[in-house]
């Protein structure tokens, strides 16, 4: 363990519930501070790709996820320290309500993460049709856990000056907490939503304009200078706290026998933790990005990693690119290691049916998919590796998450072709997940490389073996 520098001041932005408006406010504050010349390190609490993509765009740098279910607290703390150390300030967007976790102890909650990282909390209050009650709710949050330091609040969805004045007066009288901003009800045109939340930044046709819209909102309605001073001031800064680097088994020196791993990434496939890609690079892998929307052939690679995304919204384009689909199927038959999650799993299948139309996919795994109106799998997962497979050792326990609207319409498999038994979560079918054939592996469970340290070394090892077999 070694000391690498002082802790960067940071801020946790939380709400009383999901949908309270904290994402738009987080984007505006981050982008406005960036416009002022500050280096802002963005983070997203919990297993989220879409918000993280927008936060990354607002900050102009990668957004890392912090999750104490997927990763141990020391690893979470190290990730925060390592990925913020060259910045002026860090901003973490929480998820759900401040104290919401997986149990009555608040495990995995935004509050517990704030305490772990010793960060102040800026609480976003949705004030719709409410005045004095907001002070009561704020007071409850302040007293529920005295170790949580709420440094201020943002009033959101304010109906007008009279409404704002009443809420402010009650908060000042009963809570003695600064109000750093008051934001009116916003129109949804800048941030359209669909079945899995906000439209991703990669798909939004005017994402730059959308970020500019959040900057305008923040500059006009938030005391950005006062908030920055409160966060970076002596009381919250913890100037004497040093960053420590722990020895981490998943970070290994690069080996000279490098391999090339292709990552399927475009507007259809975009759900990747930066930590997963970083882990592959640290093990000596060269990364190339490949698009089945734009390319007909796969370049020379020794393995492929396919993340999640929205193949359903791009199904016509994916189906039309027959050359790419056939190329991928042939490579799989030749033993190329392929690891796919969620949307990637769909692309490995036979087809996806949307309404009355059926769109062919790559045909590697014998699964036919459909799309439901309600989530078919949503939340954290915990799996036991019960069958021999290309990427994980039998007996391993892995933690991940799933969030899908796709459904299984038909599948042909044998029990030994499913690597995972679900201890938590739904999986592909009958509490089973991790469908594999040869060196191709598809799962609904998204994993985080820092919480599943065997994943990246296994994929790189398989890539090296494939490279060696080529001669």
pLDDT at position 186, please? 81
d(C-alpha 387, C-alpha 187), whole Å: 51
Tokens 């607002």: give the residue.
58
Residue 81 has pLDDT above 50, yes or no: yes
* 114 contacts: CB under 8 Å, gap ≥ 6: 12, 14, 94, 120, 121, 148, 149
* 299 contacts: CB under 8 Å, gap ≥ 6: 262, 288, 290
Confidence of residue 237 (pLDDT cuts 50, 70, 90): very low
Residue 245 has pLDDT above 70, yes or no: no
Buried b (16+ CB within 10 A) or exposed e, 109-125: bbbbbbbebebbbbbbb
For 431-452, what is the mean pLDDT? 97
Specify the pairing of strand 40-45 against strand 64-66: parallel
Predicted structure pTM score: 0.89
Contact of 389 with 338, CB cutoff 8 Å: no
Digit-coded pLDDT (tens) for 110-139: 999 999 999 999 999 999 999 999 999 999
Closest CA to 70 of 41, 30, 113, 11: 113
Average pLDDT over the chain reads: 91
d(C-alpha 304, C-alpha 190), whole Å: 35
* 334 contacts: CB under 8 Å, gap ≥ 6: none
Q: Which of 51-65, 173-187, 228-242, 446-460 has the lowest mean pLDDT?
A: 228-242
For the chain, how far is it from start to end, CA to CA, in angstroms?
A: 41
CB atoms within 10 A of CB 404: 21
Residue 190 has pLDDT above 60, yes or no: no
Per DSSP, the chain holds a count of helices (H) and strands (E) of 14, 27
What amino acid positions are annotated as catalytic residues?
A: 342
Confidence of residue 198 (pLDDT cuts 50, 70, 90): low
pLDDT at position 202, please? 54
Confidence of residue 242 (pLDDT cuts 50, 70, 90): low
Going 95 to 377 to 313 to 271, the CA torsion angle's sign is: positive
Give me the half-sphere count of Cα atoms (radius 13 Å) on the Cβ side of residue 207.
18
pLDDT at position 207, please? 75
* 217 contacts: CB under 8 Å, gap ≥ 6: 24, 28, 183, 186
For 139-161, what is the mean pLDDT? 96
Confidence of residue 204 (pLDDT cuts 50, 70, 90): very low
pLDDT at position 210, please? 86
Confidence of residue 471 (pLDDT cuts 50, 70, 90): confident
Buried b (16+ CB within 10 A) or exposed e, 182-214: bbbebeeebbeeeebbbbbbbbbeebeebbebb
For 199-225, what is the mean pLDDT? 80
Phi, psi of 13 (to 5 degrees): -105, 120
Residue 171 has pLDDT above 90, yes or no: yes
Domains of the chain (ranges plus CATH)? Answer: 2-245 (3.40.50.300), 259-470 (3.40.50.880)
For 301-324, what is the mean pLDDT? 96
Share of the chain above pLDDT 90, in %: 85
Digit-coded pLDDT (tens) for 266-303: 999 999 999 999 999 999 999 999 999 999 999 999 99
For 3-32, what is the mean pLDDT? 89
pLDDT at position 7, please? 79
CB atoms within 10 A of CB 103: 8
């Amino acid at each position: 363990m070694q000391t690498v520098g002082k802790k960067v001041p940071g801020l946790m932005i939380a709400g009383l519930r999901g949908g309270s408006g904290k994402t738009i406010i987080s984007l505006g504050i981050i982008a406005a501070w960036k416009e002022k010349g500050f280096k802002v390190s963005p983070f997203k609490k919990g297993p989220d790709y879409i918000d993280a993509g927008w936060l990354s765009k607002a900050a102009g740098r990668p957004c890392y996820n912090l999750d104490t279910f997927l990763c141990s607290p020391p690893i979470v703390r190290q990730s925060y320290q390592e990925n913020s150390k060259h910045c002026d300030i860090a901003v973490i967007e929480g998820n759900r309500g401040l104290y919401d976790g997986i149990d009555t102890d608040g495990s995995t909650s935004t509050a517990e993460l704030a305490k772990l990282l010793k960060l102040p909390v800026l609480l976003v209050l949705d004030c719709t049709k409410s005045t004095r009650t907001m002070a009561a709710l704020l007071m409850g949050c302040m007293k529920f856990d005295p170790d949580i330091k709420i440094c201020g609040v943002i009033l959101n969805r304010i109906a007008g000056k009279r409404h704002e004045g009443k809420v402010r007066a009650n908060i000042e009288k009963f809570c003695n907490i600064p109000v750093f901003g008051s934001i009116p009800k916003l129109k949804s045109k800048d941030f359209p939503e669909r079945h899995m939340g906000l439209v991703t930044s990669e798909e939004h046709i005017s994402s730059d304009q959308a970020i500019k819209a959040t900057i305008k909102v923040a500059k006009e309605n938030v005391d950005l200078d006062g908030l920055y001073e409160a966060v970076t001031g002596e009381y919250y800064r913890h100037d004497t706290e040093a960053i420590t680097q722990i020895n981490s088994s998943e970070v290994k020196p690069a080996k000279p026998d490098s391999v090339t791993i292709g990552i399927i990434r475009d507007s259809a496939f975009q759900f990747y933790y930066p930590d997963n890609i970083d882990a592959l690079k640290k093990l000596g892998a060269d990364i190339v990005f490949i698009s089945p929307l734009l390319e007909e052939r796969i370049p020379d690679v020794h393995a492929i990693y396919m993340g999640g995304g929205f193949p359903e919204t791009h199904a016509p384009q994916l189906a039309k690119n027959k050359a790419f689909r056939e190329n991928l199927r042939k490579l799989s038959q030749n033993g190329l290691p392929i690891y796919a999650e969620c949307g990637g799993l769909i692309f490995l299948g036979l087809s996806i049916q949307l309404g009355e139309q059926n769109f062919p996919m790559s045909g590697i795994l014998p699964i036919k998919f459909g799309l439901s109106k309600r989530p078919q799998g949503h939340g954290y997962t915990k799996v036991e590796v019960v069958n021999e497979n290309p990427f994980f050792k039998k007996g391993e326990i892995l933690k991940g998450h799933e969030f899908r609207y796709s459904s299984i319409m038909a599948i042909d498999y044998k029990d030994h072709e499913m690597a995972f038994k679900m201890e938590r979560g739904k999986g592909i079918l009958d509490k089973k997940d991790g469908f594999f054939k040869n060196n191709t592996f598809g799962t609904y469970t998204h994993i985080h490389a820092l919480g599943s340290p065997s994943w990246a070394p296994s994929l790189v090892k398989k890539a090296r073996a494939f490279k060696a077999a080529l001669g």
